[in-house]
A and B are shown apart, each in its own frame.
Chain A
Amino acid sequence: MDMSETNRNKKSEYLKRRFPAKEGFIERMKMLLGEEDAKIFFEICYTETPDYIRCNTLKIQPDELKIRLKRYGWKIKQPFEKFPEVMIVNCNGAGALGKSKEHLLGYFYVQEISSMLPMLVLQPCDGDVLLDLCASPGSKTTQAAAMMGNGGSIVANEVSMGRLGILSSNLERCGVMNTVVTRKEGVAFCNKLLNKSQIRFDKILVDAPCSGEGTLRKSPKTFEMWNKKMIYKIAGLQRRLASSALKILKVGGEMIYSTCTLAPEEDEFIVNFLKKNFDIEILEISLPLKFREGVCEWDGEKLSDDMKKCLRLYPQDNDSDGFFVAKIKKLSDKCLLRGDA
């Protein structure tokens, strides 16, 4: 066992003592994964994720970036043949990635693989009109702009003034030119456009605020903050955000609903709610990653079988964070809801 592994083990043991998982959370994960897999889940949650970066193809091509980063003595892996812009970097020293010249110049974005999934699934392209409803810090907006080659149009919305600064600064660093940044609460944003304009979107990302069960490796404090009440409370907001967004999606357009949590109330339950109230189709997702299908039954409640088409990413499957993605196609403007859900 080398020194760095010993240190990692020590850190992991410390985190386990400092941020123990609450009983209710453990029970829920056992219900989702089974006893054995839940044990593996909680083991990996106290370890760090590998350093993923995404090459910003608006400024540099992956092959050139790879050569440059290797000069620092860093080990670079491109785990997906289909997505050469996705790289795992093994670098020495904390903060080295962020301080490198290539980062300062916006040649890459430090972004966990799970966070890249929504755009890899949505595949925005030049000519699309895209809405990123909860856009800060801008990882997915900058990814979309790169995929669109700065063409088409993006509206990046963020409600929080503080987070807006981070969003703007990341958009600048990455050389994003096709984006309009707005500051409005998500539901109000959608209602304004719905009622007072003809602007509709080809593609929408609702990366909703969530309880963050998938980000425990990055932020072990979430163990401390976790509680069941918060899940139910936040699910209400997610339902309102997702259904409002669906109303300003063009017929035939596609929407991604994603969260960085594994709680079915915030994931499949929201998609199931949309399925019940809108004329939509849940689309199959295909990605070169190990992922699991969505849950169709939870806590005694049966959901549509279509929820199987949703993507669940568990940290232990790809050594990543946890994530949830659903891809939705709008078939018509039919809506059974009154008000904001």
Chain B
Amino acid sequence: MKFNIMERSKKKRFIEGVSHFGIEKIDETLVKWGSERIRAYSGDFSRDEIGKLRFLLPVEGIGLYVGKDAINKRTGVHEYRLSLDAVSVWGDKIVKNIIDIDEAQEDIWFTGADVDLTEEQVGELNGFVVVRSKKDGDFIGVGKLGLGNVLYSFMPKERRRKVNVIT
């Protein structure tokens, strides 16, 4: 897979792209993975060492997948999206554009289905939002608000709960 360690200017652009969640600084090295994905690497390997590893071995992953920097094919709009694990590890930086969902909605959310919200929950929010559990305060993913107060799920398939058993 083609990847590049992002230059300072590109990293800055990504941070600006996700700043509507309150993220102002990212300490980790950001890596552009393929054409759209962004990964965050916190390890000590230098740029040269990573380059050497890549030259000698097939590198299949580096750091954590934290988001996407892509153009929405339908709307043509440039979008910056955070991943489920990014909101989990950067939770303390996220202070804006948060939707709190209740337990019943959370059960639906974890199946990967879209969630119906109340007008009160949506308020003035629009576009991408970080989803938080009202019960525990956990950040449990990222969704997109659609018409009719629907929260579209971006829960990765492998992280969805197949059957609700925990009550």
Chain A: residues with CB nearer than 8 A to chain B? 58-59, 68, 72, 93, 95-96, 99-101, 104-106, 127, 129, 150-155, 157, 164, 168-169, 171-173, 175-184, 189, 192-193, 196-197, 199
Of all A-B residue pairs in the complex, the 6 with the closest CB atoms, nearest first, are A181-B61, A178-B43, A177-B42, A153-B43, A182-B57, A175-B89
Other-chain contact of A101, B56, B158, B166 (Cβ < 8 Å): B166
Is B34 close to A, CB under 8 A? Answer: no
Partner of B165, one of A99, A104, A155: A99
CB A208 to nearest CB in B, in angstroms, measures 19
Residues of B18-76 whose CB lies within 8 A of A = 28, 40-45, 49-50, 52-53, 56-65
- With contacts A151-B42, A173-B85, A181-B61 known, is A93 near B165, CB below 8 A? yes
Given contacts A173-B159, A199-B49, whether A58 and B89 have CB atoms under 8 Å apart is yes
Which chain A residue shows the least CB distance to B44? Answer: A153
- Tell me whether A106 and B62 are in contact (CB under 8 A): no
Contact A181 B62 (CB under 8 A): yes
> B42 touching A180 by the CB < 8 A rule?
no
Residues of chain A lying within 8 A (CB to CB) of residue B43: 151-154, 177-180
Most A Cβ at <10 Å: residue of B110, B159, B162: B159
Q: A152-B43, A152-B44 are in contact. Are A172 and B85 (CB under 8 A)?
A: yes
Chain A residues closer than 8 Å to B104, beta-carbon distance: none
Residues of A within 8 A of B162 (CB): 99
How many CB-defined contacts (below 8 Å) exist between A and B? Answer: 112
Give the residues in chain A near B62, CB-CB below 8 Å. 179-181
Taken together as a complex, chains A and B put the C-alpha atoms of A153 and B42 apart, in Å, by: 8
Q: 25 A-B Cβ contacts within 8 A?
A: A59-B88, A59-B89, A95-B165, A101-B110, A101-B140, A104-B110, A151-B42, A152-B43, A153-B43, A154-B43, A171-B64, A177-B40, A178-B41, A179-B63, A180-B50, A180-B62, A182-B57, A182-B58, A183-B57, A184-B57, A192-B56, A192-B57, A193-B57, A196-B56, A197-B52
Contact in complex: A177, B60 (CB < 8 Å):
no
Is there contact, CB below 8 Å, between A100 and B64?
Answer: no
Q: List the B residue with the shortest CB-CB distance to A127.
A: B44
What is the CA–CA distance of A168 and B140 in the complex, to the nearest angstrom? Answer: 20
Given A178-B41, A196-B56, A172–B165 Cβ distance below 8 Å? no
Residue of B53, B89, B140, B161 touching A177 (CB-CB under 8 A): B89
Contact B53 A182 (CB under 8 A): yes
Q: B140 near A105 (CB under 8 angstroms)? A: yes
B120 to chain A, nearest CB (A): 24
Bound form: Cα–Cα A168–B53 in Å? 18
Interface assignment of B119: CB less than 8 Å from any CB of chain A? no
Contact A180 B44 (CB under 8 A): no
Chain B contacts for A192, CB-based, 8 A: 56-57
Interchain CB contact under 8 A, B61 and A199: no
Closest to B62 in A: A180
Q: From residue A96, how far is it (CB to closest CB) to chain B in Å?
A: 6
How far does the alpha carbon of A172 sit from the alpha carbon of B62 in the complex, in Å? Answer: 10
CB atoms of A105 and B138 under 8 A apart = yes
**Max chain A Cβ within 10 angstroms of own Cβ: one of B59, B61, B64, B158:** B61
Given contacts A99-B163, A177-B89, A180-B50, contact A168 B61 (CB under 8 A): yes
Q: What residues of A have a CB within 8 angstroms of the CB of B124 in the complex? A: none
User: Which residues of the other chain, B, contact A196 by a CB distance below 8 angstroms?
Assistant: 56
Report which residue of B41, B43, B58, B166 has the largest number of chain A beta carbons within 10 angstroms of its beta carbon: B43
